[in-house]
Amino acid sequence: MTTFLEKFSRKYHLPAAASERLLRRMECRTFRKGDCVVREGERNRDLYMVSRGIWLGHYQRDGIDTSLWFAGEGEAIFSTRGYVSDRPSQITIEAMCDAELYAISHPELEAFFGESVEAANFGRRLFEEQFLDLENWLLAGGAPRAEERYRLLMEENPELLRIVPLKYIASYLWITPQSLSRIRARLNRRKP
């Protein structure tokens, strides 16, 4: 099994054989940096499995771009609003570098969920992970712990600094790019 599929299986507690069955139903698509699978206001009910690259979920309000999440190899990405209710997305899902995804349509994924208990449990687990990520993002808000959140983010996703512009990382941390620069400088001074 490929690395991204192993990560996907582990994260969403889907047995290897079921993950491979799901992958066979999916279509491989390649993207260039800056391409989007969905933009705010568009409809997209597909689910994607990241096989290569970093993706950003973000939105704009009153001219301010806010980063919601980053996703990398082995993670699922989709517009929750589009998937669940077939309504226009409130977020843009954008490639931060050249990337590759496996895509499955909503009807095809629903058919997969109906195949077995393990597939149905995968569907439940997929949305549980979405809720958990949202709660973590909301609880992490506010500048007082920005340095701690930055360190944790870099421990979990060190490739972000190589690929993602700092303005998106700052937005995700709920701080300004200038504050992020100060945090990075302070941490670099502490290194032995």
163 domain-assigned: no
CATH number (domain holding residue 62): 2.60.120.10
178 domain-assigned: no
126 domain-assigned: yes
Task: Give the mean model confidence (pLDDT) for residues 148-160.
Answer: 86
Do 179 and 143 contact (CB within 8 A), yes or no? Answer: yes
Q: How confident is the model at residue 143 (pLDDT cuts 50, 70, 90)?
A: very low
Do 138 and 68 contact (CB within 8 A), yes or no? Answer: no
42 domain-assigned: yes
189 domain-assigned: no
Q: And the tokens for 36? A: 């989007």
Do 177 and 166 contact (CB within 8 A), yes or no? Answer: yes
The model's pTM? 0.82
Looking at the DSSP bridge assignments, the partners of residue 55 are 71, 95
- Domain count of the fold of the chain: 1
Q: Tell me the per-residue pLDDT of 50-103, one tens digit each, with 9 for 90 and over.
A: 999 999 999 998 888 988 889 999 999 999 899 889 999 999 999 999 999 999
Q: Which domain holds residue 111?
A: 3-139
Q: Tell me the per-residue pLDDT of 161-182, one tens digit each, with 9 for 90 and over.
A: 889 999 999 988 888 899 999 9
98 domain-assigned: yes
82 domain-assigned: yes
51 domain-assigned: yes
Q: Tell me the per-residue pLDDT of 10-54, one tens digit each, with 9 for 90 and over.
A: 989 999 899 999 999 999 999 999 999 999 999 999 999 999 999
